[in-house]
Amino acid sequence: MKRGATSLAGILLVDKPAGMTSHDVVAAVRRATGEGRVGHAGTLDPLATGLLVVLVGPYTRLEPYLSSASKSYDARVVFGAETDTDDAEGDVVRTAAVPDGIRDPTFARAALAATLGHSSQVPPAYSAIKVGGRVAYKAARAGEELALDSRDVEVFEAALTGIDPETPAWDVSYTVSKGTYVRALARDLGRACDTAAHLGALRRTASGPLTLDSAVSLDEISRAGAGDRIIDLFIDPFGALGLPVMDAARVDLANGHSLPLPEALDIHESEFVAVRSDGALAGVYRARTGRLVATVVLGSGGAS
């Protein structure tokens, strides 16, 4: 199939394998679908595996509504060394003795509990953040240090699921806010425990209401694309968005005109609504002064 615009519009949940960038996954979906408009919501590093939300066709415009959700991960925090990337793919830049308490589950749970809530996090030097037009990881590769501003993040859950006393390492189940670097959590956890640490492994298990249980492999996507069955892998967009839903006639959606806000729809000023027409997602609207104003209009396309 020639790559370009197709009639496809949907959301794929992909179980990303290790060693691939998120861009690599997008490229694979483009090849499988023949659709040039493919994007993703929430980047995963090459080291990481697990849930990557991939958007196809006009649904790429839904990215802002899917990237803002909290994320859940299974992580391995390895103690004794920091790396320049804050994960196992980097070069060791600092080592430290590991206290005996690291192997104590009671100590581990208390240390993790101390990380819960809001905090200010300095992103890893090897990240895609831009400073003065410079990308942090490109500057780091060139041997330059950029001053990265800290950002407000929140850790909702940090549960100990296991201890490897030999490595030594902790297996941790995290749920965090958008923009939180689990690599940085591992780095800072080591420092808080008077040692050094980095992220040894990471698997994303959920993004908002979407879970890894519903994800498919790239091989499955490739086979579905070859058999013209890719639409069978698309998930329900309304469930993915997790927004209140209202129905509207297609004629009322023409040209992106605003819609009356039904009294029965329990939403407040500036909140979003998913609009359905003929059973398909037609757009996302926002409550403004008693009406619904279009923020994304998907037109007649849209597989539900």
Mean pLDDT across the chain: 90
Q: Which of 120, 103, 203, 201 is closest to 155 using CA atoms?
A: 120
Reply yes or no on whether the pLDDT at 302 is more than 60.
no
Contact assessment for residue 94 and residue 196, using Cβ atoms and an 8 Å cutoff: yes
So what's the pLDDT on residue 83?
Answer: 95
Helix (H, G, I), strand (E, B) or coil at 223: helix
Question: If one looks up domain 243-304 in CATH, what number appears?
Answer: 2.30.130.10
The catalytic position among 45, 74, 86, 87 is: 45
d(CA 204, CA 194): 28
Catalytic annotation present for 152: no
Q: Which of 2, 8, 13 is closest to 221 using CA atoms?
A: 13
CATH 3.30.2350.10 residue ranges of the chain are 71-207
CATH 2.30.130.10 residue ranges of the chain are 243-304
If one compares 296 and 252, the residue with the highest pLDDT of the two is 296
Residues of the chain above pLDDT 70, percent: 89
d(CA 118, CA 14): 30
**Is-above-0.85 flag for pTM?**
yes
- Least confident interval from 119-128, 176-185, 205-214, 254-263: 119-128
Reply yes or no on whether the pLDDT at 151 is more than 90.
no
Question: If one looks up domain 71-207 in CATH, what number appears?
Answer: 3.30.2350.10
